[in-house]
Amino acid sequence: MKAMKLILPVLSYFLLFMAQTVNAQYYGYEDDLEIVLTHNNIEFPSHISTLDYCEIKLRNKKGPGYFLPKPDQWYGDFHTMQEDPVHSIIKGHFLKAGTCTINARIGGSVVISKSFEISDPYLTSNSTILPYGKEETVEIVNFPRDKVSITWLVSDGLEIVSGQGTEKLVFTTKKNTSSYEYIVANVQSEVWILSLRNNVSIVGIPQADEIQVSRTSSNMFILDVDQEVMHSSPLKYELYDQARGSLMRKGMVELKDGVLNFNNLPKGIYVLKLYLDEKNIKTRKILIN
């Protein structure tokens, strides 16, 4: 019994000594320290934007039981959203896109640094090339996960098909369009406002005198090609669904017949292209009802 009373204090002292030894500062400890970035409880996420709210902390790679000093100073390309920035953990966002570096100064002379690649939110395809009459999709990439309000705006020559209020927008051309149009996404959260813009180049715009709107309630369409100009025969033709821009029919037609049969086509507006030669293309709209 007396032996037990003697052993217990010695054992307690030994355990306390070991704990203090593990937690004490040791030579070369700075090599074991690292800066850790966390966003939405994910360490070192694959994508971080300048608008993402992040958590930065210092830790010992060997584990929680090893020496971990409190930084004397945090500095670098990071805006700390705390009144007192000298904490083991700081919260905020990065100041710029590109390579950003965060530093933690310890004991006046030891500096632990870490660099991260940061991106601004952006719209896919900075310059979208859109064939006339077709649809295109743009998306906000590297977008913060905050609760936001999104408003899409397009210039007069474009039309929003779907996606208003979401991160993806589907758009197409209007009848009266120019070769240069634009798309704007206005995004607002509780603490920031973002405006993103894309330029859109429209190709294959029909000339005003090339468009002839024809209405037909049957499946037969008369070409009515100008006979004063000599054309090779037969003519190549393509028929597109104007709403979707998809190719519905293609083939060859004899000029002397001048009639196309559009069996099994649903009601709608179609764009007919007649290839008079390699450089001369006539474009006509057909309304089937």
Lowest-confidence pick of 1-10, 230-239, 276-285? 1-10
What pLDDT, on a 0 to 100 scale, did the predictor assign at position 183? 96
Q: 177: which residues sit within 8 A by CB, 6+ positions away?
A: 132, 156, 157, 158, 202, 205
Instruction: Give, in degrees to the nearest 5, the angle at Cα 62 between 57 and 66.
Output: 80
pTM of this prediction?
0.53
pLDDT-derived band at 137 (thresholds 50, 70, 90) equals very high
Quickly name the fold that domain 122-203 has. Immunoglobulin-like (2.60.40)
Domain(s) of CATH 2.60.40.3080: residues in the chain:
208-288
pLDDT-derived band at 3 (thresholds 50, 70, 90) equals low
Q: Which CATH class is domain 208-288?
A: mainly beta
* Mean pLDDT of all residues in 14-39: 72
Domain(s) of CATH 2.60.40.10: residues in the chain:
122-203
pLDDT exceeds cutoff 50 at 186: yes
CA atoms within 13 A on the CB side of 288: 19
Which of helix, strand or coil describes residue 126? coil
Instruction: Give, in degrees to the nearest 5, the angle at Cα 230 between 224 and 235.
Output: 60
Instruction: Give, in degrees to the nearest 5, the angle at Cα 126 between 125 and 132.
Output: 70
Q: Which of 157, 161, 201 is closest to 177 using CA atoms?
A: 157
What pLDDT, on a 0 to 100 scale, did the predictor assign at position 17? 46
What pLDDT, on a 0 to 100 scale, did the predictor assign at position 191? 79
Helix (H) or strand (E) holding 2: helix 2-23
pLDDT exceeds cutoff 90 at 33: yes
What pLDDT, on a 0 to 100 scale, did the predictor assign at position 19? 44
pLDDT tens by residue, 66-83: 999 999 999 999 998 876
pLDDT exceeds cutoff 50 at 209: no
Instruction: Count Cβ atoms below 10 Å from residue 92 Cβ, excluding itself.
Output: 16
* Amino acid identity, position 23: N
Q: What is the 3-state secondary structure (H, E, C) of 8-60?
A: HHHHHHHHHHHHHHHHCCCCCHHHHEEEEEEECCEECCCCCECCCCEEEEEEE
Q: Considering the chain, what is the average pLDDT of its residues?
A: 81
* Mean pLDDT of all residues in 208-237: 58
Q: Pick 22-118's CATH classification: 2.60.40, 2.170.240, 1.20.1740, 3.30.460.
A: 2.60.40
**Residue predicted with more confidence, 13 or 147:** 147
The whole-angstrom separation of Cα 143 and Cα 189 is 12
DSSP string, 161-173: EE-TTSSEEEEEE
What pLDDT, on a 0 to 100 scale, did the predictor assign at position 227? 44
The whole-angstrom separation of Cα 202 and Cα 93 is 38
